Chains A and B, each alone.
Chain A
Amino acid sequence: MICKDCGASQLEGTLFCSECGCFLLDAPSKPTFILPFSDFAKHDPTPALENFKPSALAKPLILTIVIPSSRRRFKMEIVDRIRIGRADIHANIYPELDLVNDNGAEMGVSREHAIIEASANGLAVSDLGSTNGTFLNNSRLSPNMRYPLKNGDELRFGELLIHVLF
């Protein structure tokens, strides 16, 4: 096996080139599945925020994220933002909340799906133009607009449901 980056010869089965560190498996990135019902519930929820100014918090806020489908419950700090999506080494995308291991691709989570931003006046969530949409308490968000995120809100990325507590 020859490394396509540096030309070093490597044993078959090697995952990363010992000379240059290049990933040697040409596994194509997983595409986001398009779900059949993504037109569902397109109406807007509570109106989008007009004057939201994202700013880093003086003291990080601790969010508890619950992902029922994968029985995960964990804490995350937010200082200025949390990006949500699926990590993809090929596209160099590494969201802070990575849903790869929650079956993200199959549940319709885009690689760059949504973002939670902080400000002195609270948190806001925006959809980043994802394939299957972001839902806040079961209402679909218009892409690239900020909506207020409250304690206990239910967020759905495609088909993947999470609860955010803080």
Chain B
Amino acid sequence: MNDDSDYYAILGVPQDATEAAIRDAFINLLPQFPQDVSEQDNPAYGRLLTAYKVLSDTERRATYDSLLRETAVSPLNITIQASKDQLQLSKEAQIVYLLIDILPPAAKTQTQRPLNLSLVIDRSTSMKGERLDHVKKALEILIDKLAPDDIISIISFSDRAEVVVPSQPASDKQALLTKTRTIFTSGGTEIYQGLSAGMKELRQAPLPQHTNHLILLTDGHTYGDADLCVDLAQKAARLNIGFSAFGIGSEWDDQFLDKLVAPSGSQSQYIETPDQIINYLQKRIQGLGSIHARNIRLSLDLPQTIIPQFGFKLSPFAQPITLKEQEIKLGNLEGRRPLSFLLEFTIAAQPRETRINIPLHFTADLPERHNHTVKHQHQIIVLDNPIHIAPPDALIKAVRLLNMYRMNEKVASDVQAGDMLAATRRMKHLSTRLLELGQTKLAQQAYSEGDRLETMGTMSLEGQKKLKFGTRALLGQTIAALNSDTNDL
């Protein structure tokens, strides 16, 4: 519904306004127009008159109200594109991809809750020097950007945790800065210690009034407490506390960090060189500061013939999606970029012409409505003679890059299975495909990893991360490019 036909907006009254209030509003607006105004030569006057005529008539108003309810635009503006809308009859399973975009609403509906942030920082010996220096610099910039009603806590951990800054409003910035300078390095890496101390601090603040988030910065493997950490992340998600994780250098466990952020649908990211820390942290905080809808979930209550195989979030950041549970956690709708993701399904053999419905039920927490649900259904028709239409370009672009990301993941499983021949061949293919895209740096990396696999039977830790997060970053960029507007550049 546009502004021209929103009669309540024209009169400037709420939808539950009384008859008297509507008449008053009309009378107050009339003097704006000259005495001899007519509907024909003044469209604004015409609109006002129509609005008043409808809303002052009880019967017409009731009809209009019911129309308004039916066409009420959901705050979640969802578009779904499929790789195919018509399938061929088949005795074998087929693949269908869906590209789903949830677009941000007009900026005015954005909810600004203060942040409740806990920064959990690895201070193990390996962080010594440049890494910790950059983290401290990043903390300074970050503290400077926080609003006085934002709440912050800072934890440093090695094999035990230390509360550097207990949960407090970010009002006395000088005091906060002084404290961050006291972080020094020693000991090993036990992430659980840090996370649980961070959680404890986050829970000091009233959670429902804040955007609650824990940001982990680490450069190492955790020792024996990975499962505890993931349990904690799940518990946190239930309390509306999100986890983001940043790995510095190449020694950390990317799969573990992916698992850690999955319950809240948040971001894990590879930080190749310490000077990038500031940039990534700032972006993350920016996103958290401009949330339109929180905790978006997609429940896939699917018939047995439709099996979700793979999910990947493309925007606002690229991140794999866990499909194991009934409900897919998609995180928040943040900033000016859409929440976009790709799903791959296998559709079981279809021997007869039929219609297949893929039910997609989204739930989100909106400023005015908790657990707001939008039900979508995507229909695919199975025919003997389907019309072949090329999939949308955006979808092809995304699937192409996703396939490269997965080729790299498959190399890792080839290596685990001991099939070096397959691993080498796949890596070399990946190199070619990256080169076709003009990604020379990544292509070179893949090529040298291919050589390494061939001669030594392993990949370098650095190469593995560069390729994994390099292809991931490409996925994020495609959607950014497709939605390019002035804000992105």
Contact = CB atoms under 8 A, between A and B. Distances in A.
B482 A101 contact: yes
B83 A13 contact: yes
B94 A73 contact: no
B399 A16 contact: yes
Contact of B88 (A12, A15, A21, A76): A12
Contacts of B406: 18
Nearest to A21: B433
A74 interface: yes
A74 B88 CA distance: 40
Contact of B95 (A12, A64, A101): A12
Contacts of B173: none
B12 interface: no
A58 interface: no
A25 B95 contact: no
A16 B391 contact: no
A25 B389 CA distance: 11
B403 A18 contact: yes
A100 B399 contact: no
B403 A73 contact: no
B93 to A, nearest CB: 6
Nearest to B406: A18
B84 A13 contact: yes
A12 B400 contact: no
A74 B404 contact: no
Contacts of B410: 18
Contact of A18 (B90, B93, B97, B407): B407
A118 to B, nearest CB: 18
Contacts of B393: 100-101
Contacts of B372: none
Q: Which of A20, A64, A72, A100 has the most CB of B within 10 A?
A: A20
A17 B95 CA distance: 12
B426 interface: yes
A23 B390 CA distance: 12
A103 to B, nearest CB: 11
Interface string A11-33: 11111111111010101000000
A94 B83 contact: no
Measured as residues with beta carbon below 8 angstroms from the partner, the interface class of chain A is 20 to 34
A114 B78 CA distance: 36
B414 to A, nearest CB: 11
Contact of B96 (A13, A64, A89, A101): A13
Given A11-B93, A16-B403, A21-B404, A75 B489 contact: yes
A92 B399 contact: no
B346 interface: yes
A16 B90 contact: no
A15 B97 contact: yes
Given A21-B407, A73-B486, A92-B436, A14 B95 contact: yes
B92 interface: yes
B485 A11 contact: no
A129 B436 CA distance: 25
A86 to B, nearest CB: 10
Interface string B91-120: 011111100000000000000000000000
B489 A74 contact: yes
Contact of A25 (B390, B407, B426): B390
Contacts of B92: 11-12
A12 B346 CA distance: 10
B87 interface: yes
A11 B83 CA distance: 14
Contacts of A100: 393
Nearest to B93: A11
A11 B95 contact: yes
Interface in A84-141: 89, 92, 94, 100-101
A35 interface: no
B350 to A, nearest CB: 11
B121 interface: no
Contacts of A18: 403, 406-407, 410
A2 interface: no
Contact of B438 (A21, A23, A72, A94): A94
Given A21-B430, A25-B391, A92-B436, A12 B94 contact: yes
A6 B429 contact: yes
Contact of A13 (B95, B407, B484, B486): B95
Nearest to A94: B438
A21 B95 contact: no
Nearest to A73: B486
28 contacts: A6-B429, A11-B95, A12-B88, A12-B90, A12-B94, A13-B84, A13-B94, A15-B83, A15-B391, A15-B399, A16-B400, A16-B403, A18-B406, A19-B425, A21-B400, A21-B407, A21-B429, A21-B432, A23-B396, A23-B400, A25-B391, A25-B396, A72-B485, A74-B486, A75-B486, A76-B489, A89-B436, A92-B436
Interface of A: 6, 11-21, 23, 25, 27, 64, 72-76, 89, 92, 94, 100-101
Given A18-B403, A94-B437, 7 more contacts: A12-B90, A13-B94, A15-B83, A19-B429, A21-B432, A25-B396, A74-B488
- Closest A-B pairs by Cβ, 3 of them: A13-B95, A21-B433, A16-B403
Interface of B: 83-84, 87-88, 90, 92-97, 346-347, 390-391, 393-394, 396, 399-400, 403-404, 406-407, 410, 425-426, 429-430, 432-433, 436-438, 482, 484-486, 488-489
